[in-house]
């Protein structure tokens, strides 16, 4: 089977995705013959897209909202990470099999390891806000590192559902317990869409956090959310979400194009400039 070096990001909506910019940069950087394109795929078009990917032997794709779980039945198999997370974000060929994996947790962890060196020394407890795909990645990555985790979500039933998915290895807390939970947190993660452009701000009081606690916002548009600004003002180390996107992309790039890519400061600056240029009001 001859694989065509053409990959995609599929989702709906998908126009905001910075993945084409990242992969096109690496294709140029490494002088590779290939393409990476975005495709707006509605839920009813998902099966048709995967059939096209198969029949044309395209290298694979990234999968974003709303297809991360629903694409699984269309694949030949998923790997252990995607199984443990219940979602795929990267589809590739392994021989004749179309396989799903999930690089979001790896991206989540590599980002904080890079941005906040030594952050995990002596750290053992994380509070995660949210119960969607990003929270799933954060939970999986942190459980793998042996962290204990409390999660809080606006819709409590989704938090309980997620806790059940992870075999109750995470503790669900309610709004009233959040302030006291923060006193024990070595890491606070915003894995909600709150604070993202066109979304309401995240409302949270950080005064109970230990001075050594790290604050991580998975949102990367804007690059510096109000949460990150507030945390910096209080003297916390912080981590934004852009590196998570860049580090997860390394996995797909190597699977599709056979080249291990580097998350360089030049790449980060390129994407940062694009985010700033397209920020509302700029
Ligand atoms: P999702 O699956 O749709 O989940 C959204 C989550 O945000 C839910 O827990 C939702 O709570 C919560 N939420 C939404 N609006 C809220 C508000 N105003 N106040 C409090 N909670 C709110 O989305 P997702 O894929 O997890 O994405 C969440 C964020 O992470 C997005 O900003 C996305 O861009 C970002 N993200 C970043 C990366 C990266 O690489 N950096 C990767 C994935 C996602 P309910 O359950 O109550 O609705």
Mean pLDDT rounded to a whole number for the chain: 96
Going by alpha carbons, the residue nearest to atom 2 of ligand 1 is 132
pTM of the model: 0.96
* Residue appearing with tokens 């006291």: 180
For residue 35, the model assigns a pLDDT of 98
The Å distance, Cα 174 to ligand 1 centre, comes to: 18
Task: Name the band, by pLDDT with cuts 50, 70 and 90, for residue 280.
Answer: low
| Known active-site residue 68 | yes
Count of other CB atoms within 10 angstroms of residue 193:
16
For residue 187, the model assigns a pLDDT of 98
pLDDT(212) > 80: yes
pLDDT(215) > 80: yes
pLDDT single digits (tens) 53-88: 999 999 999 999 999 999 999 999 999 999 999 999
For residue 282, the model assigns a pLDDT of 39
pLDDT(278) > 90: no
Mean pLDDT (whole number) for 249-258: 98
Whether ligand 1 lies within 6 angstroms of the CB of 22 is answered as no
* Residue appearing with tokens 């998975």: 218
Task: Name the band, by pLDDT with cuts 50, 70 and 90, for residue 1.
Answer: confident
pLDDT(281) > 60: no
The Å distance, Cα 26 to ligand 1 centre, comes to: 28
The Å distance, Cα 193 to ligand 1 centre, comes to: 4
The proportion of the chain whose per-residue pLDDT surpasses 70, expressed as a percent, equals: 99
Q: Give ∠ CA 35-36-38 in degrees, rounded to 5.
A: 140
pLDDT(119) > 70: yes
263 burial (CB, 10 Å; 0-12 / 13-18 / 19+) is buried
pLDDT(214) > 90: yes
How is the beta sheet containing 35-40 ordered, strand by strand? 35-40, 4-11, 58-63, 90-94, 97-101, 77-78
pLDDT(279) > 80: no
What per-residue string of b and e applies to 96-131 under the rule 16 or more CB within 10 Å gives b?
eebbbbbbbbbbbbbbbbebbeebbeebebbbbbbb
């Amino acid at each position: 089977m001859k694989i065509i070096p053409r990959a995609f990001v599929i989702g709906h909506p998908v126009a905001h995705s910075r993945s084409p910019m990242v992969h096109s940069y690496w294709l140029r950087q490494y002088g590779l013959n290939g393409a990476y394109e975005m495709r707006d795929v509605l839920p009813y078009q998902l099966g048709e897209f995967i059939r096209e990917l198969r029949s044309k032997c395209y290298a694979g794709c990234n999968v974003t909202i709303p297809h991360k779980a629903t694409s699984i039945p269309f694949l030949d198999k998923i790997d252990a990470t995607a199984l443990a997370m219940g979602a795929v974000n990267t589809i590739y060929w392994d021989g004749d099999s179309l396989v799903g994996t999930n690089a979001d947790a790896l991206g989540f962890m590599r980002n904080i390891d890079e941005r906040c060196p030594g952050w995990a020394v002596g750290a053992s407890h994380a509070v995660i806000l949210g119960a969607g795909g990003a929270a799933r990645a954060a939970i999986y990555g942190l459980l793998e590192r042996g962290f204990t985790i409390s999660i809080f979500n606006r819709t409590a039933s989704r938090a309980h559902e997620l806790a059940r998915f992870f075999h109750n290895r995470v503790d669900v807390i309610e709004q009233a317990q959040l302030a006291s939970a923060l006193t024990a947190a070595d890491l606070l993660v915003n894995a909600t869409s709150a604070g993202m452009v066109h979304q309401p701000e995240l409302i949270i009081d950080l005064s109970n956090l230990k001075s050594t606690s790290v604050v991580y916002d998975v949102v990367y548009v804007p690059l510096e959310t109000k949460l990150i600004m507030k945390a910096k003002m209080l003297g916390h180390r912080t981590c934004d979400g852009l590196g998570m996107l860049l580090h997860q992309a390394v996995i797909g790039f190597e699977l599709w194009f056979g080249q291990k890519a580097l998350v360089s400061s030049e790449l980060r600056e390129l994407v940062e400039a694009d985010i700033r240029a397209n920020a509302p009001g700029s």
